[in-house]
Amino acid sequence: MQLRNTSQGYGRASILLHWVMAILIIALFVLGKYMVDLNYYDPWYQKAPALHRSFGVVMAALLVFRTGWRLSNLVPEPMGRPWELRAAVWMHRLFYALIAVIVVSGYLTTTATGQPVTVFGWFDIPATLSGIENQEDIAGEIHEWLTSILIMLVFIHMLAALKHHFLNRDATLRRILWTGGPTSLSSQTDKLKDEQP
C-alpha cells in the first residue's frame, strides 16, 4: 500500500488520519461526558479537563492537516447510487465543519476568563477573545450540542459503511481498513463481473 491515494483506494496517510481522528472523536466525547460529573475532590477533576483540552488541540491540528492532505490528493472513485454519493459528500463536509466549530467553541469556553489553553504542559495557546458576557455558558452549550450531533453522525456513518459492506457488497469499507487498499476496489469489481449472468 502506498502513501498517497489513488483513484481506486486510499493510501496509508489517509487511512491513518481517518482512524486516528475517529478514535480521538469517540475518546474526547466519552471523556467529556465523564468529566462533567466529577466533583472537586475527585483525582481526575483537574486531569480530565486538561487531557480533554490538550487532545482537542491535537484534533484541531489533525483537522488542518487532513484537510490539506485531502485537497492535495486524489479522492478514490466513490461507490453507490447517485443519492448515496451526494449524501457521502455532504456527510464528509458536515464532519469537517462540525469538528472545526466544536474545536473553536471548546477554545472559547476554556479561554472565556482570559486563561490560556495549556497543551500537555508543553506550551500555552493564549486567549484571543475573552470577557464576552456569558461566553463560557454560550460556547459550552454550543460545544455540548454539536458534539452530540457529531457522535450521531459518526454512528450513521458506521451504519452506512456496514451497509456498503454487507448489502451492497462493495469495497467501500475494506479500502479504508488496513487490510484494504488500492486492490480492494478492482478485486471486488472483478468479482461482481464474474457473478453477472
Interval 114-127 mean pLDDT: 97
pLDDT tens, position by position, 38-80:
999 999 999 999 999 999 999 999 999 999 999 999 988 888 8
Q: Tell me how many domains the chain contains.
A: 1
**Residue 194 lies inside a defined structural domain of this protein:** no
C-alpha cell at position 54:
490538550
Whole-number mean pLDDT of the chain? 90
Q: Is residue 7 part of a domain?
A: no
Range of the domain at 66: 12-187
Alpha-carbon span 23 to 42, nearest angstrom:
26
Decide if 75 is inside a domain: yes
The CATH code of the domain that includes 118 is: 1.20.950.20
Residue 197 in this model has a pLDDT that exceeds 50: no
The Cβ of residue 76 has, within 10 Å, a number of other Cβ atoms equal to 21
pLDDT at 187: 43
- Answer yes or no: is pLDDT of 113 > 50: yes
Quote the CA–CA distance of 3 and 10 in Å, as a whole number: 8
How distant, in Å, are the alpha carbons of 34, 43, 96, 182 from that of 17? 25, 32, 13, 17
